[in-house]
Every structure is written in C-alpha cells, then in structure tokens.
C-alpha cells in the first residue's frame, strides 16, 4: 500500500472531530491575532430584521469590550454598542444590503462598556436559498483603531506642517506693516512726552494704541512658535512657553475660571518650544473644558512651576477646580481615542500630551477627584550646563546706555519700514536707507564705511541671505538680518555655522539698539 492509498483511506469519526477542533482552534487564533471576528444574522423573519437571532465569534465579543459569551447577543445589544452618531447610518446600510442583495462594507465606531471608543470595519454578504430568498447574512468585523490612530497622527502632523507654513506667511505679512506701526507709535509717544501742553488724555490714547500693537505682535509670535515643524531639542524658557499658551487659550478660559500663576522669572528646561506650546495648550483647554461657563469668580486654573534641583527636574502643574475624572476612567485616560464624553472631541488630546512629554524624556501624571477637579503634573529635564538658547537673556536686562553714534544702513523693500526706522533710530545713529536690495549691494561695495547693516530677510530679486553671501567676511560680519517670523532652513544653518545676528519684526527700539551695539562691540 502506498501513500496515495493512505490518503484515500476513510478517516474515523474521532479523526474527523479532531481535525475539526484543530481547524476551529486555528480560525479562532487567526481572528484573535488579526482582531477580526465574524458574525451571522438569521433572516428567517424579513418583516422584523432586528428581531432575528445574531451570533458572534469570541473575537467579536472582545472587540466590543466583553469576555466571550458574557452577554446575550441581539441586534439591540449590537446597536446599543454602536456610537450614537453612527447608529442610523449602520442600520440603514444593513437594511439596504438585505433589500438589494449587494455586499455591505462600512466603517463605524463602537463604544465599549468602559467608555472607550473603537473604530471597526465591517464586511458582509447575503446567503440565499434556491429561490433567491435571503436566509441569513454573514460578515466580519475588524478592529481598526490602531490604524485610525496612526492615520490621525499623520493627518495631525500634516496639519501642523501646513499651519506652520501658513503661520510663517501670516507672520511675515502682518509683522512687516506692524513694524512701521510700532516704530511710528513709539516715535509719537516719545515726541509727545517732550512737548508742552499735551493733555494726559492724548498720551493715554497713544499708550493704548501702543499696547494694542504689542498684543497683535505677541499673538503673531505665539502662533509662529506653536506651529513650528522643527522637532529638535534645545534649552527653552518654559515660563515664556506657558505664557504664550495662556494667551492662545484666553478665549476658553476667561468665561470659566480665574488663572492663577505660581511662578516667576526664567525657568529653563530641555525641550522643544513648539511641542511644549502644544502640550500646555492642550492641558489648559482640558482644564477649561472641565469647568462650566458662567461662574469664573468661583473657579480657578492654577499653573505652578518649581525646580527640583536635587533630581535635575522642572515640575509644572496645571490644576483646575472643574468636574474631575471618575476613578473608573483613570487607568485609561492617556489611551488614544479614549474619552469620558463620547461624541465630544477626538479623544486624542491627552494621548498626544503623553507622547510629547515621553519624546522629551519627561513624565506626565495626574490626580483627580470627582466634583473637585484635576491636576496634571509635567516633569521635564533641567539643562545640565549654563548654556542658553540664542537670544535668551540670563536675567533682567541691564539698563541701556546711550550707544556710540554709528553709521547704519537699513535695507528693506517696504518704504514705510525704512522711513519709520530712519526716524526712530536717527536720534542715536546716522541712518542711510535703501529699498532696492541690488542697489544696496552696490552701495555697500562702493562705501564700506557702514558700521552696521540692517537687512530684511525676505525681499524680491535679492534676499537678505543672498546679500549676506555676496559680501566678504568683514562686511558680512556687520549684518543684522531682520525677519518677519520666517526662519528657513538655510537661515538656521547659517545661524548654526556663524555668529550672524537676527532680529524678529516688529521690534522695540531698545531691542534694536542693543543688537546694533552688540554687532559694533563684537567687531571691535
């Protein structure tokens, strides 16, 4: 007898049963590994589709948040688990498939008994009798939450990159005219103070205008910092980032709670300014969402910053007096798509916060008491040396002494800016202006006697970077690049390789005078 004879030999009932058990075991394992279960809906009574019996495999139970066999499976229990916003769409799709006989493919959300939200993909088709009458519907359901999370993160990253590009463009378009506004308002304010007979009311009106321009400048800078795509770690003033996030969250907070600040001065951490801005903005918005509108005097959002020198850590606390989080939600609060308010938001906010802090080598924890509020604690590394980021002060700035008078060339393609700077700086330096960069380049080559060259970064025909590269080293060392908020990679590379000075529009007079003095002192 050969092998083919063995294969043709009838198997015993025990062998058939064992093969069936092994096949069922392999199928169950495959469903568990792929998070894809199967189901069967009886269609014995087409007049009451939802009243027919429904059967789930073990993996479907797990996808819906139950132990296998833990509940009696009915269409009612299925629809109860479907997200309320998706329920009618799912019901309509199943009924349409039964009426038309076409296969059904759809995605929807499921709310588990613990409140977590899962995304699932379903495929189904009809089984008909010899007469073509539907007798049952069979289908699969796969948990695609991880894929959706990954896609959401990619979409979020794309949006942030787009926002960064848009914010850079907006900053440039706003900051250029705002530079002229700020410079002229400063000049008007200083001139009026020297004049006799000026009423206090007029001085107050000018001061209000200056304050309004300063607020616009801060908002544009906050948006630019928040939207930066750069992920590099550096030394960051965490208090400055918190203040920036507070300004962006003002609208959500002001009708809900008083903001209490428990920090002062400059506190440095190792991090990324844009990602930290995103972190604190999310935490502040979460705090605001936990408090009902209309009673801000009886609620507070408190932010504290403390340095733990023994551990080399900086501890930031964001606390609110809101609704708090129920204990049963604590263990899963940082899971993607997990929300205590199904149907509200995406459930990604806190998981993104956790990811940001982890990427920076920090730690994010929380405590909460239902009815009394929550506190989120961020721990970040403090710098291990005394180096500070470019442009960051090491404390309060020393008073500005009247600078030595110097020859300064101002190059900007917008005449209102060069005119305003000529008037503003003319009290301290001898100013020459140019609105055409190519003509300015010829002027520099003909007259190398300028002490400082203030040059706009983004100009037609010849950018500030192009002009810098066109000069030899002694002349290039005199340059200060003025930017409306854009820091292209080429400029970042240049800043990393050289000591080129930069200043962000719109700038205060003192800031500009300090930069000019620093360039002169460095060259001397």
Task: Give the pLDDT means over successive 10-residue stretches in the chain (524 positions).
Answer: 56 79 82 90 86 91 94 91 94 91 94 91 93 92 89 70 66 81 87 86 88 79 61 84 89 92 87 87 91 91 93 94 87 71 59 87 92 94 60 42 82 92 92 94 89 91 90 88 75 74 85 89 76
Question: What does the H/E/C string look like for 41-86?
Answer: EECCCHHHHHHCCEEECHHHHHHCCCCCCCCCCCHHHHHHHECCCC
42 shares its domain with 130: yes
Structural domain contains residue 94? yes
Structural domain contains residue 292? yes
Handedness of CA 516, 517, 523, 524 (dihedral sign): positive
62 shares its domain with 89: yes
Structural domain contains residue 7? no
Does the reported pTM lie above 0.85?
no
User: Rounded to whole angstroms, what are the CA distances from 118 to 108, 114, 237?
Assistant: 9, 11, 39
350 shares its domain with 462: no
Model pLDDT, residue 386: 41
Query: What is the distance between the alpha carbons of residues 137 and 367, in angstroms, rounded to a whole number?
Result: 48
Model pLDDT, residue 357: 92
Query: What is the distance between the alpha carbons of residues 435 and 443, in angstroms, rounded to a whole number?
Result: 12
Model pLDDT, residue 393: 40
Structural domain contains residue 179? no
318 shares its domain with 391: yes
Question: Domain range for residue 353?
Answer: 231-396
CB 306 within 8 Å of CB 314: yes
384 shares its domain with 473: no
Model pLDDT, residue 335: 75
* Cβ within 8 Å of residue 503, ≥6 positions away: 480, 481, 482, 483, 511, 512, 515
453 shares its domain with 491: yes
Query: What is the distance between the alpha carbons of residues 106 and 90, in angstroms, rounded to a whole number?
Result: 8
User: Rounded to whole angstroms, what are the CA distances from 238 to 220, 247, 255?
Assistant: 19, 14, 25
122 alpha-carbon distance from chain centroid: 32
Single residue among 82, 110, 143 that ends a domain in this structure: 143
> How many domains does the chain divide into?
3
386 shares its domain with 422: no
Model pLDDT, residue 373: 94
Query: What is the distance between the alpha carbons of residues 503 and 315, in angstroms, rounded to a whole number?
Result: 31
CATH of the domain at 420: 3.40.50.2300
CATH of the domain at 294: 3.30.565.10
H helix or E strand, kind and range, residue 375? strand 373-381
DSSP string for residues in 417-480:
HHHHHHHHHTTTSEEEEES-HHHHHHHHHH-TT-SEEEEESS-SSS-HHHHHHHS-HHHHTTEE
242 shares its domain with 349: yes
- Report residue 483: phi and psi, to 5°: -125, 145
424 shares its domain with 296: no
Single residue among 128, 143, 158 that ends a domain in this structure: 143
374 shares its domain with 239: yes
415 shares its domain with 485: yes
Query: What is the distance between the alpha carbons of residues 110 and 46, in angstroms, rounded to a whole number?
Result: 26
User: What are the DSSP E strand ranges found in 196-312?
Assistant: 234-237, 258-262, 268-271, 300-308
Single residue among 370, 396, 422 that ends a domain in this structure: 396
CATH of the domain at 28: 3.30.450.20
Cis peptide before 505 (omega within 30 of 0): no
Which tokens sit at 101?
């006989």
Place of tokens 């506004």: 181
> 3-class SS at 242?
helix
């Amino acid at each position: 007898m050969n092998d083919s004879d063995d294969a043709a030999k009838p198997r015993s009932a025990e062998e058939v049963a064992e093969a069936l058990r092994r096949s069922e075991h392999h199928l169950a394992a495959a469903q568990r590994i792929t998070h894809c279960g199967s189901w069967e809906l009886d269609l014995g009574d087409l007049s009451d589709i939802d009243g027919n019996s429904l059967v789930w495999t073990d993996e479907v139970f797990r996808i819906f948040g139950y132990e296998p066999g833990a509940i009696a499976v009915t269409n009612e229990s299925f629809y109860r688990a479907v997200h309320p916003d998706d329920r009618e769409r799912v019901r309509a799709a199943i009924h349409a498939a039964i009426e038309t006989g076409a296969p059904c493919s759809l995605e929807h959300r499921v709310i588990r008994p613990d409140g977590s939200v899962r995304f699932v993909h379903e495929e189904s088709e009809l089984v008909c009798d010899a007469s073509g009458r539907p007798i049952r519907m069979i289908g699969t359901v796969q948990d695609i939450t991880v894929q959706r999370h990954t896609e959401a993160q990619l979409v979020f990253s794309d949006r942030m990159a787009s926002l960064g590009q848009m914010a850079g463009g907006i900053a440039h378009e706003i900051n250029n005219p705002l530079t002229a506004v700020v410079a002229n308002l400063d000049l008007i304010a200083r001139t009026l103070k020297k004049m006799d007979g000026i009423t206090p009311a007029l001085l107050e009106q000018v001061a209000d205008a200056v304050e309004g321009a300063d607020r616009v400048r801060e908002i544009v800078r906050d948006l630019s910092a928040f939207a930066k795509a750069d992920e590099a770690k550096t030394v960051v003033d965490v208090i400055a980032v918190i203040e920036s996030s507070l300004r962006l969250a003002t609208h959500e907070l002001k009708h809900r709670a008083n903001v209490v600040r428990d920090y002062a001065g400059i506190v440095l951490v190792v991090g990324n300014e844009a990602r930290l801005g995103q972190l604190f903005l999310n935490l502040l918005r979460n705090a605001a969402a936990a408090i009902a509108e209309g009673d801000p005097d009886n609620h507070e959002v408190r932010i504290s910053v403390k340095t733990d020198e023994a551990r080399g850590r900086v501890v930031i606390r964001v606390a609110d007096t809101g609704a708090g989080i129920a204990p049963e939600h604590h263990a899963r609060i940082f899971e993607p798509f997990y929300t205590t308010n199904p149907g509200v938001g995406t459930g990604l906010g806190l998981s993104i916060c956790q990811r940001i802090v982890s990427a920076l080598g920090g730690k994010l924890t929380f405590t909460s008491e239902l009815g009394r509020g929550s506190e989120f604690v961020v721990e970040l590394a403090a710098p291990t040396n005394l180096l500070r980021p470019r442009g960051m002060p090491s404390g309060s700035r020393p008073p500005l002494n009247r600078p030595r008078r110097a020859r300064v060339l101002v190059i900007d393609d917008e005449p209102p800016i060069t005119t305003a700077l000529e008037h503003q700086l003319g009290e301290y330096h001898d100013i020459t202006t140019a609105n055409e960069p190519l003509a300015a380049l010829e002027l520099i080559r003909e007259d190398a006697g300028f002490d400082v060259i203030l040059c706009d970064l983004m100009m037609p025909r010849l950018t500030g970077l192009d002009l810098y590269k066109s000069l030899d080293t002694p002349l290039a060392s005199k340059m200060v690049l003025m930017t409306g908020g854009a820091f292209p990679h080429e400029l970042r590379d240049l800043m990393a390789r050289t000591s080129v000075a930069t200043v962000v529009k719109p700038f205060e007079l003192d800031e500009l005078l300090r930069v000019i003095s620093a360039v002169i002192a460095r060259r001397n």
